Amino acid sequence: MPHEGLFPSFFMAGFECSAHRRCDRRRLDLIAASSHDTFARSDYLTVRRFGLHTVRDGLRWHLIEATRGQYDWTSFLPMLRAAADAQVEVLWDLLHYGWPDHIDVWSPDLVKRFADFSYAVARLLKSHGAERPFISPINEISFLSWSGADEAWINPFTRKRGFELKCQLVRATVASIDAIRAVLPGARFVHCEPAIHIAADPSRPRDRAAAEGYRRFQFQTLDMLSGRAFRQLGGGSAYVDIIGLNYYNNNQWIHNGRTLWTGDSLYRPFREILREYFERYACPLFVAETGCEGDDRPRWFRYVCGEAKAAIERGVPLEGVCLYPIADHPGWDDDRHCPNGLLGYSDAEGRREVFRPLAQELARQRGIFAELFGAESRLQVA
């Protein structure tokens, strides 16, 4: 089963790059908090040694445009050059939950400002030789809209305005893609969204319709971008290129009830979720984020890879699986150490301790997928 591959490697590394303000109004910068900004080159070289030639990473808009209309690239250029030196392909997030404080996210000005920023990023990438970069304009529009404008957990700290924010972010994404294509017509665009499943409690059959309705909300953002819904936002088929699905071990639950874990009779196999997305949108997919904390990391990765393999064998064009985050980082809410990566915290020299059980499972999965794709594949899986 030869597989040319959309990306340089099937298995990927994702560096946590959230940059939002949390509920106490403190700005997070996980790139800095994990020392990835300081050690980007050694980090990229390290993940390459594990066969991870494709990386998810991000720009920090709040640092780049700290002053309205003025772009300072000093936080980004070292990472861009480090990626070139290490010869990794980076999928760049332009907005990973956070934006500059001087932007009113509710104003129509957001759309223009984000388009201007995207255009400036495209010009910079082109000046550094990029012809076909992979760009994710806004990460997890669905989650950002819910957590920031329905639950007031992160910026913009409002309630009952999630749909309104989602519309704003879809408009901004469309404008961003147009701006980038004006400079880099060969650019590829990635939309990363959480993949979930919601089941009804069998003892409450009256909840089935509500559970299914909430489950189907996961498609609303992509339906908007693809022009299937609310076409007045500017979406169309040209705006959905590659879909990244973010899938964790707590992404399934009972409507108004408990979390569903693997092994539960109500748990939906991940292969079926992948298949549903492919049948709905008919475009390339990849698992853009997956991982968990603690000693369960190898088991969870084994489960996701097994489901990915099953989906591929059933005709789903899955292009990759990204370990996310690839390096440990402080927690969003309390700065606790989150042991969820292949790599630990860095020392003063940029060295990171390797979580060996996950490294061993990664090596095993690379062998499995190399056999699946066949010796003729150019994809880096083994």
pLDDT digits (tens, 9 = 90+) for 6-27: 999 999 999 999 999 999 999 9
Residue 376 has pLDDT above 50, yes or no: no
CA-to-CA separations, 1 to 70, 252, 370, 379, 380, in angstroms, rounded: 49, 32, 10, 12, 14
Give the pLDDT score at 374. Answer: 84
Strands 318-323 and 285-290: parallel
What is the full DSSP assignment across 264-314?
-TTPPPHHHHHHHHHHHH-S-EEEEEE--SGGGHHHHHHHHHHHHHHHHHT
Task: Give the CA angle between residues 172, 178, 184 to the nearest 5°.
Answer: 130
Helix (H) or strand (E) holding 31: helix 30-33
pLDDT tens-digit map of 33-46: 999 999 999 999 99
Which residue bears the tokens 């255009």?
119
Give the pLDDT score at 2. Answer: 42
Enumerate the domain spans of the chain.
11-325+355-373
Give the pLDDT score at 1. Answer: 41
Residue 377 has pLDDT above 70, yes or no: no
Task: Dig out the tokens for 206 from the structure.
Answer: 């009256």
Residue 382 has pLDDT above 80, yes or no: no
Residue 320 has pLDDT above 90, yes or no: yes
Which residue bears the tokens 């089935």?
208
CA 241 to chain centre: 14
Of the candidates 36, 33, 38, the one whose C-alpha atom is nearest the C-alpha of residue 22 is: 33
| Whether pTM exceeds 0.85 | yes
Of the candidates 82, 83, 50, the one whose C-alpha atom is nearest the C-alpha of residue 354 is: 50
Give the pLDDT score at 290. Answer: 98
pLDDT tens-digit map of 51-101: 999 999 999 999 999 999 999 999 999 999 999 999 999 999 999 999 999
Give the contacts of 118 (CB within 8 A, at least 6 positions apart). Answer: 94, 135, 137, 175, 176, 177, 179, 180
- The whole-chain average pLDDT of the chain stands at 96
Paired residues of 305 in beta bridges: none
From CA 380, how far away is CA 88, in angstroms rounded? 12
Residue 381 has pLDDT above 90, yes or no: no
pLDDT tens-digit map of 125-181: 999 999 999 999 999 999 999 999 999 999 999 999 999 999 999 999 999 999 999
Residue 3 has pLDDT above 60, yes or no: no
Which of left, alpha, beta for 256 (phi over 0: left; psi -120 to 50: alpha)?
left
Topology adopted by domain 11-325+355-373: TIM Barrel (3.20.20)
CB 88 within 8 A of CB 54: yes
Q: Which amino acid is at 96?
A: H
The proportion of the chain whose per-residue pLDDT surpasses 70, expressed as a percent, equals 97
The proportion of the chain whose per-residue pLDDT surpasses 90, expressed as a percent, equals 96
Q: How confident is the model at residue 109 (pLDDT cuts 50, 70, 90)?
A: very high
Paired residues of 242 in beta bridges: 190
